[in-house]
Structure 1
Amino acid sequence: MKAYIFPGQGAQFTGMGKDLYDSSSEAKKLFEQANDILGFDITKIMFEGSSEALKETKVTQPAIFLHSTILATVMGKAFQPDMVAGHSLGEISALVANKTLAFEDGLQLVYKRALAMQKACEHEPSTMAAVLGMEDHLVEAICADTEGIVVAANYNCPGQLVISGAIDAVNKACENLKEAGAKRALLLPVGGAFHSPLMEPAREELAAAIEATEFRKPACPIYQNVSTFAVTDPKEIQKNLIFQLTAPVKWTQSVQNMIKDGATEFIEVGPGNVLQGLVKKIDRSMTTSKATL
């Protein structure tokens, strides 16, 4: 069974999507439609912008979404998923790819999500850190014992967990984790504490937009970051997506459940190849590849 997986923030690069734009009239039309929906020339930033310009949350998130969803669309009949999943932002790309959301609705949600997250980051200085070489339950326990807001945010693969929270609390947790035997605990170059309670203002803002959007019956199950199991009920998908901003991304558990349910091949759709690497660390026996035209 084929599992198609969609990347999140951090996979962007200058020139992303230009090959699609140049080689497919359908892709070109969708990119130009995206410029109209967003009200600015995102394709110009994607194709020619600096890495700094691409790093802005309000650009990064729609750029990665566009690369992923337009690639899945122009693949046509070659895109035949038995199941899908997306890492954080990639979950919305996955929901467009499996027909739960219309392309335009997905893009508008991604853009609203990016702006709401940016606003939440400016409201309270916060950060994230990657913790390597320590079991999840120990990281969770140390975060719980650290004063201030700091929580497990991304369960990426065994031995790689990202924590998120207030700057002082994350710094203190990093010291405590290293003392307790973590191989590394290093701050990430991100704008804020994604997938933590500090994203509550963004979650509230986005909830209204998600509730006002039509969610249809998907063409195949999605394994969501919040629940980790196969979901096909539009109402449940909608509810899980609302909680995603303040809940951890349970990527390890989602991939394990996809494998348990019969996935034998994981195909990454969009920029970068981070997710293929994570799948291999979760289960070395899996076949992984990159989606191409």
Structure 2
Amino acid sequence: MGKTAFIFPGQGAQYCGMGKDFFQAFPTARSVYATAGEAAGLDVGELCFTENESLDVTEYTQIAMLATEVAILKVLEEKGLRADCAAGLSLGEYGALAAAGVMELAPLFRLIRCRGIFMQEAYPVGGAMAAVLGLDADRIRQVCAGTAGVVSIANDNCPGQIVITGEAPAVEAACETLKATGAKRCVPLNVSGPFHSPLLAEAGKKLAAELEGVSVQAPRIPYICNVEADYVTDSARIKELLARQVSSTVRWRETMERMLADGVDTFVEIGPGRTLAGFLRKMSRDVKVLNVAKVEDMDAALA
């Protein structure tokens, strides 16, 4: 018998109005948004549901995305849907933490609020990211290592799509070399910082300090962390891995390969967009991928 995984998208999938229908239809969802707002000191519902410029600013995007993902998750769980394992891309890893039950929601939301602020402040100007299409990770890693300045792999998303990050001149120079090497395209990303770069090491240190006071339990279901692309079973390591994640490569391709090898044949992407589903379809056409972003999406997932 196959397994089911909950997977959670990261920053970039957000849009105005995300989660609003769940908020309106389910007290459970309203409770999650209220908990997020209290923990973050913000009106998270207003942030998610009304037109504003803050939603695309990292320090606000992260709490908005996580609140929406967890609100949908809790409604799905209330309806009886369960997963055998979980994973999330970048901030989506915190959605996986919620699915695994490793900490209470209030401290989880406080952490993601701090994470967004720390990442925004760590390198406010001069950073860049770009998606590299059509080259393998080893070749991209070689080019980054040979480029002057700070540039490295931020996300290994799926075969043929890797994101690089770092100082803007170094990212631009690496892109030119990569295109000359055979990359199909190098697409600059509209982001506010060099995420998952060593340039954000200070943000990781600050997050580690915040994590010290957080109570962490053993995962109810296995989840795979971004840093090692492996299951986390020892609760003592969770804090260390979350602190490292801020400045480390997100090993998403390996994460999905691990789940596929372990017999996961149904993936439920919880939250805005279909980004993770797109990555999966480049890796396997044999699995079922469901997206739950709206109330109307639930029927297929529950079936």
| TM bucket, shorter chain | over 0.9
Indicate the residue corresponding to 1:200 in structure 2. 201
Question: Cα deviations across residues 152-205 of structure 1 (Å, max 9, x unaligned)?
Answer: 110000010000000110010011111111000121100111111000110110
For residues 85-112 of structure 1, give each alpha carbon's deviation from its aligned partner in whole angstroms, at most 9, with x where no partner exists: 0000000111012101211111001000
1:1-293 superposed matches below 5 A: 1-50=3-52, 52-75=53-76, 76-122=78-124, 124-291=125-292, 292-293=297-298
Distance, in Å, in 1 between the alignment partners of 2:24 and 2:210 is 33
| Structure 1 counterpart SS, 2:289 | strand
| Cα distance in 1, alignment partners of residues 244 and 186 from structure 2 | 27
1:266 and 1:80 map into 2 onto residues whose CA distance is 11
State the Cα deviation string for residues 203-237 of structure 1 (Å, max 9, x = none): 11001112221111111111111111122211122
SS at match of 1:2: strand
8 Å CA contact 1:98–1:218 kept in 2: the answer is: yes
**Deviation at 1:121?**
2.4
Query: Structure 1 stretch 177-186 or stretch 26-35: which is displaced more?
Result: 26-35
User: Comparing 243-252 with 281-290, which one deviates more in the overlay?
Assistant: 281-290
Partner letter of residue 82 of structure 2? Q
Distance 1:272 1:33 in 2: 24
The residue identity in structure 2 corresponding to 1:205 is K
Does the residue aligned with 2:246 lie in a helix, a strand or coil? coil
How far is 1:267 from its partner? 0.6
* Identity rate, percent: 38
- Residues in 1 aligned to 2:283 and 2:200: alpha-carbon distance in whole angstroms: 28
Offset, 1:17: 1.0
Query: SS of 2:259's equivalent?
Result: helix
Give the distance between the partners of 2:57 and 2:100, measured in 1 at CA.
27
Residues 51-71 of structure 1 deviation map (CA, whole Å, 9 limit, x = unaligned): x33101121101110111111
Gaps of 5+ in 1: none
**Greater CA deviation, 233-242 or 179-188?**
233-242
Q: Distance in 2 between matches of 1:168 and 1:248?
A: 20
TM, length-normalised to structure 2: 0.93
CA separation in 2, counterparts of 1:211 and 1:39?
21
Q: What amino acid is aligned across from residue 223 of structure 1 in structure 2?
A: I
* DSSP 3-state at the match of 2:114: helix
Please state how far the C-alpha of 1:77 moved relative to its aligned partner.
4.5
Deviations 1:11-62 (A, max 9, x none): 1011011101100112112212322222221211211123x33101121101
**How many residues end up aligned between the 2 structures?**
291
Q: CA RMSD in A?
A: 1.2
Residue-by-residue CA offset, 1:224-266 (whole Å, 9 max, x unaligned) = 1111112221112222111101110000000000111111111
Does structure 2 retain, via aligned residues, the 8 Å contact 1:72–1:79? no
Helix, strand or coil at the partner of 2:186? strand
